[in-house]
């Protein structure tokens, strides 16, 4: 039995990790005004951030078409997969899961497919996908892999420290005067993915305090068994990881925040994603 894992490009996993575990990533689309790009393949992370810097409009994201998932399913079937577990970003944040489910109905006669709502995003999703892919490689059944994914939905936590309010300002979510005042006061918003949605997790007065807050979330949480760090073009990422290693001795997966999450979080964002033991 060969079970394969499919996810979407909101997972922010490094490509080498996906290649090593045979994880297939179906990309979302990114739009800058009238221009549209396919995430990962049509626009790189560096190109995305360069465009963000020069663009006067906020990038927008769009879920993959069902046909993109169907093509991935049929390819995996051709490669010998006996079942597919699809783990997508939170259904409250995107219509991506709906596309995955519609596509699954089109190929149900050819290969069994289970679609799971991760209830999270970015490396929170990525960590789930990695562990499920590793379990699938041990010969686990589709039912077991899907059950594992579902069991993680309330055990994965994602916290992020935003460095700028520019994306929120451009998107009309915060007024210009308020954004200017917050910038002058060096306020750094903290966000948390909670119950499948992105919620305000607090505010810190400086970046150093915001990053210390993230480290404290890791230090004060018992039984962390997976840890990831996500960042958007951050020159202080190495120092942040070094500080994390003082409170966490396990392996740390590091991923670039890609176009999907970056469209909303903005450049300079640093986050942590971790899973606690069952």
Domain end (from 130, 151, 172): 151
Q: State the Cα–Cα distance between residues 166 and 179, nearest whole angstrom.
A: 7
Q: Is the pLDDT of residue 229 over 80?
A: yes
| CATH assignment of the domain containing 18 | 3.40.50.10170
203-215: average pLDDT? 93
Q: State the Cα–Cα distance between residues 49 and 101, nearest whole angstrom.
A: 31
Confidence of residue 56 (pLDDT cuts 50, 70, 90): confident
- pTM here is 0.91
Q: Is the pLDDT of residue 258 over 80?
A: yes
| CATH assignment of the domain containing 261 | 3.30.1180.10
Q: State the Cα–Cα distance between residues 259 and 263, nearest whole angstrom.
A: 6
* DSSP character at residue 39: B
Domain of residue 206 covers: 156-276
Predicted local distance difference test score (pLDDT) of residue 205: 87
Q: Is the pLDDT of residue 184 over 50?
A: no
Split into its structural domains, the chain has a count of 2
Residues 160 and 147 in one domain: no
CA dihedral 126, 132, 134, 136 (to 10 degrees): -140
Q: Is the pLDDT of residue 170 over 70?
A: no
Specify the range with the lowest mean pLDDT, choosing from 34-38, 173-177, 254-258.
173-177
Residues 146 and 23 in one domain: yes
Confidence of residue 70 (pLDDT cuts 50, 70, 90): very high
Residues 170 and 126 in one domain: no
């Amino acid at each position: 039995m060969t079970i394969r894992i499919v996810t979407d490009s909101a997972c922010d996993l490094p490509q080498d990790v996906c290649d090593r575990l045979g994880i297939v990533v179906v990309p979302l689309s990114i739009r800058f005004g009238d221009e549209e790009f396919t995430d990962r393949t049509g626009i790189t992370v560096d190109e995305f951030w360069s465009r963000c810097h020069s663009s006067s409009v906020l990038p927008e994201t769009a879920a993959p078409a069902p046909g993109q998932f169907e093509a991935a399913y049929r390819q995996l079937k051709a490669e010998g997969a006996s079942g597919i577990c699809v783990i997508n970003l939170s259904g409250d944040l995107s219509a991506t899961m709906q596309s995955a489910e519609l596509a699954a109905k089109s190929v149900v006669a050819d290969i069994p497919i289970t679609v799971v709502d991760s209830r999270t995003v970015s490396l929170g999703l990525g960590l789930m996908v990695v562990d499920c892919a590793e379990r699938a490689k041990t010969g686990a059944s589709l039912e077991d892999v899907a059950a594992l994914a579902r069991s993680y939905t309330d055990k994965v936590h994602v916290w992020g420290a935003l460095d700028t309010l520019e994306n929120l300002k451009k998107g009309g979510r915060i007024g210009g005067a308020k954004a200017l005042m917050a910038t002058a006061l060096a306020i750094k918003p903290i966000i948390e993915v909670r119950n499948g949605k992105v919620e305000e997790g607090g505010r810190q007065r400086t970046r150093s305090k915001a990053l210390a807050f993230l480290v404290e979330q890791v230090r004060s949480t018992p039984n962390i068994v997976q840890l990831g760090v996500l960042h958007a073009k951050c020159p202080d990422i190495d120092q942040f990881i070094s500080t994390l290693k003082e409170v966490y001795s396990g392996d740390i997966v590091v991923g670039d925040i890609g176009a999907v999450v970056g469209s909303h979080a903005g450049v300079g964002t640093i986050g942590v994603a971790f899973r606690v033991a069952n």
